[in-house]
Amino acid sequence: MLTKWLNNAHSTVVFTGAGMSTESGLPDFRSSTGLWKQFDPKQLASIDALNNQLSDFMQFYLERVNSVQLVKPHQGHSILAQWEKQGLIEGIITQNVDGLHQEAGSTHVAELHGTLKRLHCQSCGETKDREDFIKQQIKCHCGGKIRPSIVLFGEQLPNKAFEDASHLSSFCDLFIVLGSSLSVAPANQFPLIAKEAGAKLIIINEESTDLDHYADLVINERKIGEVLSAVDQQLHSI
């Protein structure tokens, strides 16, 4: 059914969450073993922490910036990039900040929560070098703090990514969720925007989500790379 819908859709959008990256070796956030079980996000992944707990903030993100350099895209990332080149998908909306979609070759990616692949000065906005951050050079020449270019708790989503995601969701006829708990607003509204606009909604996630009852197809307890590989093989046999 998924293969048929994908093959027949005029515009397919893919929405990815942390579960997309766990198969590359990155930890997720909200599962029983996720990052938020070890750290309180509202304490460390926040503007308040950047301003008032700089040492703890930098240590947390130093580890995360390092971690994304050690992992590579898995087969699922590569298949999505290939589908984009073949015209099978219009674009990707992602909650992930690891840059793995782009590394795999995807070009139309709306990064709702920013990226750990870039850093900038909180004060002047100047782009900074990752190696300087790793060496814990956390002050800009202007005196501002150097930070990862991710969205922290207390910040708004980047306008362009939000607008791109809104457009993709409003005009697609197939919306595929991969590895998201769909528990974070406003990102979790995009599947509903697509559904209300008439798109079929597919949710592929290890665990159930609060939006499963809106979906036309739900796949649980299967690896994303495995599902995408099976669909890709079926597409080649059509």
**Is position 159 annotated in a ligand binding site?**
no
**Is position 172 annotated in a ligand binding site?**
no
Lowest-confidence region among 100-109, 140-149, 162-171: 140-149
Structure token digits, residue 25: 């070796």
pLDDT tens-place string over residues 116-131: 999 999 999 999 888 8
**Is position 121 annotated in a ligand binding site?**
yes
Amino acid at 36: W
Confidence (pLDDT) at 33: 46
What is 1-26+73-113+157-237's CATH topology?
Answer: Rossmann fold (3.40.50)
Secondary structure (DSSP) of 30-57: SSTTSHHHHS-HHHHSBHHHHHH-HHHH
Confidence (pLDDT) at 226: 96
Q: Distance between CA 215 and CA 225 in Å, rounded?
A: 20
pLDDT tens-place string over residues 29-44: 544 444 445 556 567 7
Cβ atoms of 234 and 19 closer than 8 Å: no
Task: Output the pTM of the full model.
Answer: 0.90
Q: Distance between CA 174 and CA 200 in Å, rounded?
A: 5
CATH number for the domain whose boundaries are 27-70+114-150 = 3.30.1600.10
Q: Find, among 226, 230, 218, the residue nearest to 177 by Cα.
A: 218
Lowest-confidence region among 35-39, 199-203, 224-228: 35-39
Confidence (pLDDT) at 32: 45
Q: Where in the chain is the domain with CATH 3.30.1600.10?
A: 27-70+114-150
Res 159 pLDDT > 90: yes
Amino acid at 236: H
**Is position 65 annotated in a ligand binding site?**
no
Active site residue 113: yes
Catalytic residue among 77, 101, 113, 120: 113
> Rounded mean pLDDT of 145-159?
92
**Is position 224 annotated in a ligand binding site?**
yes
Specify the higher pLDDT residue, 154 or 200: 200
